[in-house]
């Protein structure tokens, strides 16, 4: 396991943040073991605040990590600090202000990008939550169109043809689903680790009941109530067989599985071993893609930074409706 250590000396950028009026100075000590970074600030004479707060913005290997200023230090996942780091101390009360800055190694001596990234992080926190979609009447079954399939634009699926869509093919049919039970073909000898095998195995791994528990048949194996999921499951199976696995969002949703396609991530989030949401995700790099803006939510990849994460669109596995998922 690798060990890296850096010390970054801070110098005052703006006056007025010491108790005795002298120039603010100090240092930030950073130690990285494996991928875990421990940051301990040591600031001389910094004035306590009655309103607002202090925070740190760290520039490491092209990424910006945000952390609240704590006397005992903070821990977070980070890239390597071997080539250096930059640290900006900010005071936040309304708009963030630069207080002190330092850099070491080959890290940039310009603190403006760190301040801009921190301000953007604060703005993202202030965004109002996306309103929940209006549910369909109980008596109205959803119809499915290609635009409602949970696949990002420009993400082709293997085996997908250009035949015209027929609404009657997408309507829910108990007998059709029962006759063509997808999961009965789990062991068809094609050597493919199908999606139908992965879901029950993941349920057992996460402590959820499987088909063998108490002799009961798990809902995932019969597709009960998963109208929308059943309508697109062949496409999902093909995608999960073709594209490589990607586990980055499993840190946020342990009961989920994802693949990295040519245009983003495609995933399934499970609840009690059964698909709950079908998702597409794009790495957050500025504003969300235009085609995702109406329905996406920002999901941080780590609790230590609001700058690193994904824009995710959720669709109900039961109805295909776009869903807003709360943080709680």
**What pLDDT does 169 receive?**
42
Confidence of residue 218 (pLDDT cuts 50, 70, 90): very low
Q: Within a 10 A sphere around the Cβ of 304, how many other Cβ atoms?
A: 20
* Residue 138 burial class via C-beta count within 10 angstroms: exposed 0-12, middle 13-18, buried 19 and up: exposed
Q: What is the mean pLDDT of residues 155-175?
A: 42
The β-bridge partners of 32 are 4, 37
Instruction: In whole angstroms, give the CA distance from residue 115 to residue 4.
Output: 25
| φ/ψ (deg, to 5) at 125 | -65, -30
Angle between helices 195-205 and 227-242 (to 10 degrees): 100
Look at residue 300 in the predicted model and tell me its pLDDT: 86
Average pLDDT over residues 97-106: 94
* Mean pLDDT score, 318-324: 87
Q: pLDDT above 70 covers what percent of the chain?
A: 67
User: What average pLDDT is seen over the chain?
Assistant: 74
**Partners of 92 in beta bridges:** 53, 96
pLDDT band at 216 (very low <50, low <70, confident <90, very high): very low
8 Å CB contact between 31 and 4: yes
> What pLDDT is recorded for position 90?
93
CB 243 within 8 A of CB 266: yes
What whole-number percentage of the chain has pLDDT above 90? Answer: 32
Query: Pick from 299, 216, 232, 233: which is nearest to 265 by CA?
Result: 299
Res 6: pLDDT: 94
| DSSP per-residue string spanning 178-201 | HHT-GGGGTTSSS----HHHHHHH
Q: Which one is predicted more confidently, 94 or 312?
A: 312
How many Å separate Cα 30 from the centre of its chain? 26
The rounded distance, in Å, linking the Cα atoms of 198 and 5 is 41
Distance separating alpha carbons of residues 266 and 276, to the nearest angstrom: 14
Q: Where in the chain is the domain with CATH 2.60.40?
A: 3-126
Please give the structure tokens belonging to residue 160.
């997908």
Query: Which tens digit of pLDDT belongs to each residue from 3-55?
Result: 999 999 999 999 888 888 888 889 999 999 988 999 999 988 888 888 889 99
Position 81 scores a pLDDT of 93
Which CATH code fits 3-126? 2.60.40
Q: How far apart are CA 202 and CA 209, in angstroms?
A: 10
Burial class from Cβ neighbours inside 10 Å (0-12, 13-18, 19+) for residue 284 reads buried
Give the whole-angstrom CA distance, residue 143 versus residue 303: 38
Whether 99 contacts 90, CB under 8 Å: yes
Instruction: Answer for the pair 81, 6: CB distance below 8 angstroms, yes or no.
Output: yes
Q: Is the pLDDT of residue 325 over 70?
A: yes
Q: What angle do CA 14, 44, 71 make, to 5 degrees?
A: 105
pLDDT single digits (tens) 240-268: 999 999 998 888 888 999 999 887 899 99
Closest to 252 in 3D by CA, of 200, 167, 203, 325: 325
pLDDT at 20: 83
- Non-local (6+) Cβ contacts of 234 within 8 A are 182
Q: Is the pLDDT of residue 181 over 90?
A: no
Res 79: pLDDT: 92
pLDDT score for 73? 86
pLDDT one-digit tens code per residue, 103-155: 999 999 999 999 999 988 888 877 665 555 454 444 443 433 334 444 433 33
Give me the pLDDT at residue 58, please.
94
User: Are 296 and 303 in contact, with CB atoms under 8 Å apart?
Assistant: no
């Amino acid at each position: 396991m690798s060990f890296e250590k850096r010390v970054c000396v801070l110098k005052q950028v703006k006056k007025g943040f010491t108790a005795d009026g002298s120039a603010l100075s100090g240092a930030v000590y950073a130690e990285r073991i494996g991928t875990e970074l421990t940051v301990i600030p040591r600031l001389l004479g910094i004035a306590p605040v009655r309103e607002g707060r202090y925070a740190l913005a760290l520039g490491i290997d092209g990424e910006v990590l945000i952390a609240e200023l704590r006397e005992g230090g903070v821990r977070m996942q980070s890239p390597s600090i071997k080539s250096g780091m930059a640290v900006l101390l900010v005071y936040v009360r309304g708009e963030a202000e630069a207080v002190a800055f330092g850099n070491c190694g080959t890290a940039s001596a310009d603190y403006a990008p760190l301040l801009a990234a921190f301000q953007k992080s604060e703005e993202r926190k202030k965004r109002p939550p996306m309103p929940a979609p209006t549910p369909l009447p109980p008596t109205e079954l959803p119809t499915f169109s290609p635009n409602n399939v949970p696949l990002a634009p420009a993400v082709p699926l293997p085996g997908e043809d250009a035949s015209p869509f027929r609404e009657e093919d997408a309507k829910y049919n108990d007998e059709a689903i029962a006759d063509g039970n997808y999961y009965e073909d789990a062991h068809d000898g094609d050597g493919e680790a199908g999606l139908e095998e992965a879901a029950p195995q993941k349920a057992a791994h996460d402590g959820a009941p499987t088909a063998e528990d108490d002799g009961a048949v798990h809902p995932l194996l019969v597709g009960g109530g998963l109208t929308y999921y059943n309508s697109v499951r062949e496409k999902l199976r093909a995608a999960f067989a073709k594209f490589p696995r990607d586990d980055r969002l499993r840190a946020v949703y342990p009961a989920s599985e994802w693949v990295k396609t040519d245009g983003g991530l495609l995933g399934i989030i499970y609840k009690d071993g059964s698909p709950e949401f079908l998702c597409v995700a794009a790495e957050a790099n500025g504003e969300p893609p235009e085609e995702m803006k109406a329905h996406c939510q920002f999901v941080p990849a780590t609790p230590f930074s609001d700058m690193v994460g994904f824009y995710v669109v959720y669709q109900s596995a039961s109805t295909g409706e776009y869903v807003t998922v709360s943080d709680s």
